[in-house]
Structure 1
Amino acid sequence: MKALDRKLLRDLWRLKWQVMAIALLVGCGVAVAVMSLSAQRALAGAQDAFYADSRFADVFAQAKRMPASVTRDLSRLDGVTTVDARILESGLMDVPGLSRPAIARVISLPDDERRALNRITLTQGRMPDPNRLDEAVALKTFMEAARVRLGDRLTAVIDGRAFTFTIVGAALSPEYVYVPAPESFMPDDAHQAVFWAPRPAVERAAGMNGAVNAVALRVAPGASVPAVLADLDRMLAPYGGRAAYAREDQASHAFLAAELKELSTSASILPPIFLVIAAALVHLTVSRLVEAEREQIGLLKAFGYRDREAAVPYLRLAAVIGLTGAIAGGLAGGGLAAAIVDQYREYFRFPLLEPRFHWGAFACSAGVAIAATMLGSLAAVRRAAGLSPALAMQPLRPTAYREGLLDRVARDGSVDQATRIIVRNLERFPMRATLAILGLASSLTLLVGTQFLFDSLDKVVDQAYYRTQRWSESVGFAEARSVAALASVQRLPGVFAAEPVRIVAARLKAGGREEMTRIVGLDPGASFQRPLDGLDRPIPFKGRGLVISEALAARLGLEPGDSVRVEVIDGSGPAADLPVTALARDYSGFAAYMPRRELNHLMGEGDLASGAQLLVAPDARPAFYRAIEGIPQIIGSSSRDDTVANWRQAMAEAFRVMISFYVSFAAAIAFGVAYNTSRIALSERARDLATLRVLGFGQGECAYILVGELAILALAAIPLGMLGGQALAHGLVAAYSRDEMRLPAVIGPRSYGISLLAYLAAVSLAALLVGRRIWGFDLVTVLKTRE
């Protein structure tokens, strides 16, 4: 082994704790990148494989009723390669063990499996007998959540007809990888039932003999999907066609796409924070090492080592730190990715979803990490290479000290000597103090900026379900009905009050942009749902004008007073130019509101409602649920309390894992910066502290001098960390908000408190580990002059 190799090993052993602390930061950065991109690869791989095996469609559309022969006409559309027509109907179903009825979707199985789209994958049991009218296959997620087993017999009310069947199999479908609840983007698997049965059975249950009401299309590569959508809408309009939509607007696929995007965002935002801090710590550590080993560098050059040879050990030291952290980060990232994939199995149901280590992400992040640590050492390495032997071997020129601010202000001895020493050292090395403060502030920034998610979600729940929507139960009708039907709804058990609502699907167009959304028609005096402004005040309707959410206005570039083109997709598909009268603060996605009577007038229809929002007594809900199960016209039911409870549980589980990661990473930053700062200070001032011991200072006073400097730096970093956390929260809002939910940048006292506790705990641990070394000083060894 060469002499310089032995020197490197000795330096690594001597600085092992500092090296490990910096490598920890490097490892965190690499772990985040590997974790995010590995989870993304696993999710995307499972999605692609499932879509390919099941022949997932590119375009979807529904109508009230159309002849099965329409598939021949649709197959002639430009760009369309495959057409699959089917029957899809919904209704309510009583499930043993559930207090609230489930929404049952019944779908006809294809006659020719080889040409079918959106093919299901059987995971248990068998497919229904085509010759029997009482067998069906159920969605696996529903069976697990509702505790339904093979052989159970259920009854769903479809279009006023009782459809009784036996479950003979469990299946997965590319359309229902993720099944959001009607009033929330979060899943409610126990109340979202999907069944597939032979066509004759579904025809009989839905009264659709010789007809279909849903189609799925495959589009040729390179064909214009918007053109296909326009042609499909035109052809289905005579049959009561609803909005045709592409795969990216399909609910399950859209949520998956948003999740994949968020993983990419995490991989690009967080790792640079860790690597920049690690590079700064490498710079401080290697710079101190070069200053401490000036004489050794001079001796090496005097004995014939070239400049590059004398400087390379320090560069290799930085490379070893980066490599060590990269390997540890790769291992940790793979384990964390497996944990995330395991959590994904609770929400995204694929036939096969297994962790997949992303070697490319590891290689790239490891290369960047090693390069960052080497760049951090570059200035110190250049200084080592530039030292001449004669100059390096000379004693350092004594530093010329002068009075500092504290010395000039407190001349009366009111400030003890230990505190004066702390302040003087901070004044004399401002750059080092600044770097330490910035490093510590970044850890608090990450803590505050991620903890805000809990406060933000609480705000979304409060705004969406207790301020904007104040009903306890809602029901949806199979078709829009006369508002007089509200009287029969009000007579249901436990109903205190009821308000009608009309909801239609529409495309809003403005400035060359368009968005598909729903228009909610409300009565002007409605109290169960009302759009609110930024100050949580109800927004009054004005004539035929629209009130749209701020998110939708931003997407379309609209302001109050602008005009927007509204193309209704339901019914006869009317279109009109309507003014935007106000913007609503709505965190739950894109929405538009207008007076219900004006919406009905736009539709060219009478005084109709598509559903009702109710206030139901809590103790009467079981009787209310039993009553609506027997009403054929009601095909949908939602409970605010159940929705909020499921939403909070799902969010708590999802964010608990993610926040745990981020808190650990942020604590690692705080510990790494604090430990290295204190350790460097101890290395530089060990002789001074030992001298103070000889002069009569106690061990506690010496520890106070060392730890007190870190305490001042940590306290100075708190305001910067708080401000940085607010800035990061706003950045995360912009990066992670989805169409179905907009996150407000809200940070409450609880989040600040948790962040500060984690931050101070990490800094205190570092201070304890370094400060206890004072009690282990060997004064003779420390004070010995190097010959």
Structure 2
Amino acid sequence: MRPAPLDRKLLRDLLRLKWQVLAIALLVACGVSVAVMAFSAQRALSEARAAFYEDTRFADVFAQARRAPLSRARTLAHIDGVTAVDVRILEAGLMDVPGLSRPAVARLISLPQDEDHALNRIVLKRGRMPDPTRTDEVVALDTFLQAANVDLGDRLTAVIRGRAFTFTIVGGALSPEYVYVPAPESFMPDDAHQAVFWAPRPAVERAAGMSGAFNTVALKLAPGASPRAVMQDVDRLLAPYGGRAAYVREDQASNAFLEAELKELSTSASILPPVFLLIAAALVHLVVSRLVDAEREQIGLFKAFGYGNGAAAGPYLRLAALVGLLGAAGGGLGGAAFGAAIVEQYRQYFRFPVLEVTFHWPAFLGAAGVAAAATMLGSIAAVRRAAALSPAVAMQPPRPASYRAGLLDRIVRGSGVDQATRMIVRNLERFPVRAALAALGLAASLSLLVGTQFMFDSLDAVIDQAYYRTQRWNESVGFAEARSVGAMADIARLPGVIAAEPVRAAGVRLQAGGREELVRIIGLEPGARLQRPLDGEDRVVPFEGRGLVMSEALASRLRLAPGDRVHVEVIDGAGVSAVLPVTALARDYSGFAVYMDRRELNRMMREGDVASGAQLLVAADARPAFYRAIERTPQIIGSSSRDDTVAAWRQAMAEAFRVMISFYVGFAGAIAFGVAYNTSRIALSERARDLATLHVLGFGHWECAYILLGELAVITLVSIPLGIVGGQALAEGMGAAYSRDELRLPAVISPDSYGLALVAYLAAIGLAAAMVAPRIWRLDLVAVLKTRD
């Protein structure tokens, strides 16, 4: 069946404008692919999490105690709204792992005695479960086995509560509590040094010296039950046994990090696609407007032969829709590939039994519909102009352009400026709206390049602030129980220790103005040198009596300022509470930090002069001996290395940001290329006759190319300052959007990042110019000069 005349015209227009159409479709594809990628990855994580949590009966409320009798489990089960209770023993210690220079932190957890009613079940990935009749077999977290190169059948020894516990690893498992395992002093994972083991209860009782008792509890709630009411009852019942404040699933470390990642995917899907679609709509407007102006006579002939307004305008509207749909199809394919790449990266951090990406059809169909609508809306003005043309007006020659002295002509007279440059400036003055749209499109590209490069610079700023300015220790240790500060003398005598300072950390609930946060108060020496809070000017913030020094982010969350008072409820120890003043704010990009004079914190907690850990400066060449010494010290159950943490941060964030930045750089380059190519092609179409005439009059090919691409060069230069300003604004917006409780990203952009963004920006524009410029040499002078347009 032969196509209708208007359909054949549409096909001819598509073939003739194929490169312009493809350039605009590329922008549409970028926008659609971001939406498909983000929603596909989000669905993959959400479905994997939901299925894993359901299969393992992940709890809704969690709590800890020092030592509670098993009989309390029955009392907890009778709390209104509680449907299941699982009490266990969890103890931690240090463990030497062959092949690792630093000891790993080992968490030993008792397996449930009644698997049918258990919560937080583990899923066996390999090997077998421990023999209930043996006390030397464990199942290990599979991520630890892989990261530390530990095999099934290996025997390890951990020091738990001062007792050496030697065991054989018989299986590897995954747990809903440890989908993501952050390091103690960082939110980044350190799988090789974070070991989790599950063993039969008799084995854990023996290792921990806790027969007939428990120190951790998980609860499942009935639909509609009040978590807050349940937590209050749990806190009341466990308070006599050294209970810590109960918390809900949303505050569980692994789940909270996963939830933040899902939020970031939603942020990406809402920020970027509109930018691409708006620019694509603007380019469609330019292309279709140019096409309508060039085909005035054809439109007039259509109407003279009886075609109505809708039929005459239809090919242009369908052209715009096809651009949108073509880009949407490419975006769907790209989004599927990018989504698979993101999910593959997630497999390195989030450990689920099944994590598979599936194409998000609703996101694709929605984005494709919006893309087609955006490109069609971009063509509306030109389409309406085509429909409004009457045959008599359309077949008349267009009104000649009005030429007059421009700004440059009035400023510079005579031969101060060559004729080619004057032509460039005059043409820009004749079409200011088109030039402004092109400049804004290119500025958007540069803004995206600059604004996304900030992530690397921001990470460097966070590391420098958190680990080299505020924290100046390179090793830290944690004690099983708060110890007399006199024990610091023993710590200071450990191999390689140059300096040692005591620290008292306590979990607290802060309440102010109806808002509350669970955080840690870090008690420091008033003259501490290894960790000190700093203000926005990098000045040390002094402690004032019982006052709190609070991070700016936490103060903003609680809407507090220096001089305000906050209710502090200690959730460790005796559970005391007090109302304390906020005396100063500290700039802290990592975590919600609260600092206090250690001695005042101990007085508030009604304790003696004690410390819960120590921060150390250890000689680099003595670290192996230092690590061996702390492994043999029963009171030390935790260890952290600043250098290892920073290295893990850089590696993990570089991996994550590298993928993200690659996407953004490619997308931003697509914007720059699409805008530059279409601007140059439209200029060539409009000025082909003029350039041919100039060539006949003696202008060379290079001069003609200079006239054509000079406009693009001017627009490019004008857009650079706009793009830099926009990039800074975008960096601030993305920093706010991607920041989370454990990490806030300052909008810092280094000169190197500006340079890299400008190089990528100019390269994309240069590629577009290189594709258009050769057409000057291929102009058919006879054919062009015969053409009225």
Settle same-fold status: TM greater than 0.5: yes
1:242 Cα deviation from its structure 2 partner: 1.2
Structure 2 residue ranges without an equivalent (≥5): none
SS of the residue 2:352 aligns to: coil
1:748 Cα deviation from its structure 2 partner: 0.8
1:406 Cα deviation from its structure 2 partner: 1.2
Aligned residue runs from structure 1 range 467-616, under 5 A: 467-616=469-618
SS of the residue 2:415 aligns to: coil
SS of the residue 2:714 aligns to: helix
Name 1:359's counterpart in structure 2.
Answer: 361
Name 1:462's counterpart in structure 2.
Answer: 464
Question: For residues 365 and 740 of structure 1, what CA distance do their matches in structure 2 show?
Answer: 32
Q: Which one-letter code corresponds to 2:45 in the other structure?
A: L
Question: For residues 399 and 374 of structure 2, what CA distance do their matches in structure 1 show?
Answer: 33
Q: Which one-letter code corresponds to 2:420 in the other structure?
A: A
1:785 Cα deviation from its structure 2 partner: 3.2
SS of the residue 2:197 aligns to: strand
Residue by residue, what CA displacement relative to the aligned partner does 1:632-668 show, whole Å, maximum 9, x if unpaired?
1000000001110111011111100000000000000
1:334 corresponds to 2:339: no
Name 1:81's counterpart in structure 2.
Answer: 83
Which of 361, 378, 381 is the equivalent residue of 1:379? 381
Question: For residues 76 and 494 of structure 2, what CA distance do their matches in structure 1 show?
Answer: 44
Question: For residues 467 and 231 of structure 1, what CA distance do their matches in structure 2 show?
Answer: 42
SS of the residue 2:312 aligns to: helix
Residue by residue, what CA displacement relative to the aligned partner does 1:516-573 show, whole Å, maximum 9, x if unpaired?
0000000100010111000010000001000000010000000000000000000000
Question: For residues 460 and 243 of structure 1, what CA distance do their matches in structure 2 show?
Answer: 30
1:78 Cα deviation from its structure 2 partner: 1.2
Which of 621, 627, 630 is the equivalent residue of 1:628? 630
Q: Which one-letter code corresponds to 2:568 in the other structure?
A: V
Q: Which one-letter code corresponds to 1:497 in the other structure?
A: A
Question: For residues 658 and 400 of structure 1, what CA distance do their matches in structure 2 show?
Answer: 49
Name 1:144's counterpart in structure 2.
Answer: 146
Residue by residue, what CA displacement relative to the aligned partner does 1:407-466 show, whole Å, maximum 9, x if unpaired?
122222121111111011001110010000000000001001100011100000000000
Residue by residue, what CA displacement relative to the aligned partner does 1:150-193 show, whole Å, maximum 9, x if unpaired?
00000000000011000000000000000000000000000000
Name 1:200's counterpart in structure 2.
Answer: 202
TM superposition score normalised by structure 1: 1.00
SS of the residue 2:518 aligns to: strand
Question: For residues 38 and 177 of structure 1, what CA distance do their matches in structure 2 show?
Answer: 20
SS of the residue 2:670 aligns to: helix
Question: For residues 719 and 649 of structure 2, what CA distance do their matches in structure 1 show?
Answer: 36
Residue by residue, what CA displacement relative to the aligned partner does 1:70-97 show, whole Å, maximum 9, x if unpaired?
1100001111110000000000000000
Question: For residues 270 and 135 of structure 1, what CA distance do their matches in structure 2 show?
Answer: 51
Name 2:739's counterpart in structure 1.
Answer: 737
SS of the residue 2:416 aligns to: coil
Question: For residues 241 and 772 of structure 1, what CA distance do their matches in structure 2 show?
Answer: 77
Number of corresponding residues: 787
Q: Which one-letter code corresponds to 2:612 in the other structure?
A: S
Aligned residue runs from structure 1 range 295-444, under 5 A: 295-444=297-446
Question: For residues 209 and 168 of structure 1, what CA distance do their matches in structure 2 show?
Answer: 24
Which of 237, 261, 275 is the equivalent residue of 2:239? 237
Question: For residues 241 and 632 of structure 1, what CA distance do their matches in structure 2 show?
Answer: 23
Name 1:677's counterpart in structure 2.
Answer: 679
SS of the residue 1:184 aligns to: coil
Which of 156, 159, 164 is the equivalent residue of 1:157? 159
Name 1:727's counterpart in structure 2.
Answer: 729
Name 1:451's counterpart in structure 2.
Answer: 453
SS of the residue 2:414 aligns to: coil
Name 2:179's counterpart in structure 1.
Answer: 177
Ranges of 4+ aligned residues in structure 1 off by more than 6 Å: none
1:133 corresponds to 2:146: no
Which of 691, 694, 700 is the equivalent residue of 2:693? 691
Question: For residues 212 and 426 of structure 2, what CA distance do their matches in structure 1 show?
Answer: 91
Q: Which one-letter code corresponds to 2:127 in the other structure?
A: G
Residue by residue, what CA displacement relative to the aligned partner does 1:597-629 show, whole Å, maximum 9, x if unpaired?
000000001000000000100000000000000
1:129 Cα deviation from its structure 2 partner: 0.3
Question: For residues 290 and 106 of structure 1, what CA distance do their matches in structure 2 show?
Answer: 75
Question: For residues 571 and 266 of structure 2, what CA distance do their matches in structure 1 show?
Answer: 34
Question: For residues 482 and 400 of structure 1, what CA distance do their matches in structure 2 show?
Answer: 90
Which of 93, 111, 114 is the equivalent residue of 1:112? 114
TM superposition score normalised by structure 2: 0.99
1:222 Cα deviation from its structure 2 partner: 0.9
Question: For residues 382 and 402 of structure 1, what CA distance do their matches in structure 2 show?
Answer: 30
Using the TM superposition, name which of 164-173 and 219-228 deviates more: 219-228
1:398 Cα deviation from its structure 2 partner: 1.3
Identity fraction in percent:
77
1:786 Cα deviation from its structure 2 partner: 5.1
SS of the residue 1:353 aligns to: coil
Residue by residue, what CA displacement relative to the aligned partner does 1:233-257 show, whole Å, maximum 9, x if unpaired?
1110100111211101100000000
Name 1:665's counterpart in structure 2.
Answer: 667
Q: Which one-letter code corresponds to 1:224 in the other structure?
A: S
Question: For residues 43 and 314 of structure 2, what CA distance do their matches in structure 1 show?
Answer: 38
Q: Which one-letter code corresponds to 2:670 in the other structure?
A: A
Question: For residues 260 and 357 of structure 1, what CA distance do their matches in structure 2 show?
Answer: 17
1:66 Cα deviation from its structure 2 partner: 0.8
SS of the residue 1:538 aligns to: coil
Structure 1 residue ranges without an equivalent (≥5): none
Name 1:750's counterpart in structure 2.
Answer: 752
Aligned residue runs from structure 1 range 699-714, under 5 A: 699-714=701-716
Residue by residue, what CA displacement relative to the aligned partner does 1:273-295 show, whole Å, maximum 9, x if unpaired?
00000000000000000000000
Name 1:44's counterpart in structure 2.
Answer: 46
Residue by residue, what CA displacement relative to the aligned partner does 1:271-330 show, whole Å, maximum 9, x if unpaired?
000000000000000000000000000000000000110001000000000000000000
Question: For residues 401 and 283 of structure 2, what CA distance do their matches in structure 1 show?
Answer: 24
1:221 corresponds to 2:227: no
Question: For residues 128 and 107 of structure 1, what CA distance do their matches in structure 2 show?
Answer: 13
1:690 Cα deviation from its structure 2 partner: 0.6
1:47 Cα deviation from its structure 2 partner: 0.4
Question: For residues 301 and 197 of structure 1, what CA distance do their matches in structure 2 show?
Answer: 85
Q: Which one-letter code corresponds to 2:699 in the other structure?
A: F
Q: Which one-letter code corresponds to 2:577 in the other structure?
A: A
Residue by residue, what CA displacement relative to the aligned partner does 1:96-155 show, whole Å, maximum 9, x if unpaired?
000000000000000111100000000000000000000000000000000000000000
Question: For residues 739 and 575 of structure 2, what CA distance do their matches in structure 1 show?
Answer: 31
Name 1:716's counterpart in structure 2.
Answer: 718
Residue by residue, what CA displacement relative to the aligned partner does 1:567-607 show, whole Å, maximum 9, x if unpaired?
00000000000000001000002111110000000000100
Question: For residues 221 and 112 of structure 2, what CA distance do their matches in structure 1 show?
Answer: 19
Residue by residue, what CA displacement relative to the aligned partner does 1:718-758 show, whole Å, maximum 9, x if unpaired?
00000000111111111110000111111110110110000
SS of the residue 1:267 aligns to: helix
Question: For residues 308 and 416 of structure 1, what CA distance do their matches in structure 2 show?
Answer: 47
1:256 corresponds to 2:258: yes
Question: For residues 387 and 494 of structure 2, what CA distance do their matches in structure 1 show?
Answer: 88
SS of the residue 2:773 aligns to: helix
